[in-house]
Amino acid sequence: MNVSSLGIFSSLIAFSKLNMRLLSMLISLESLMLSLLVLFYSSVTLMGYSLHFFLGFLVFAACEAALGLSLLVAFLRLRGNDYVPSFSTLNFYV
């Protein structure tokens, strides 16, 4: 449990500090999701519950990763870069 809480803390720090590129933000969000997944799995197995909730959370994490990747590809095709400051609504279609 200490490893997963350290992972959660470090991924939150990385998400708050590395906000210049969209890819680094998505990677830090994925590391947060994996740390939460490890914490959830360890707590479910420790208490002896069924793993149905764990599988639901795993499906949610996979859907979140697919959505993030599709957004990254869409922004790269539209803008040509993944810099977060260039996502302004004033110059979005230029």
What b-and-e string marks burial along 82-94, b requiring 16 or more CB atoms within 10 Å of the CB?
Answer: beeeeeeeeeeee
Backbone angles phi, psi at 33, to 5 degrees: -65, -40
Q: Is the pTM of this model over 0.75?
A: yes
Domains along the chain? 2-86 (1.10.287.3510)
pLDDT at residue 93, as a whole number: 56
Concatenated DSSP letters for 11-72?
HHHHHHH--SBHHHHHHHHHHHHHHHHHHHHHHHHHHT--THHHHHHHHHHHHHHHHHHHHH
Query: Which tokens in the block code for residue 22?
Result: 């969209």
In this prediction, residues 11-15 reach a mean pLDDT of: 85
The pLDDT of residue 88 is above 80: no
The pLDDT of residue 83 is above 80: no
pLDDT per residue as tens digits for the range 37-79: 888 888 888 888 888 888 888 898 899 889 989 988 888 888 7
The pLDDT of residue 94 is above 70: no
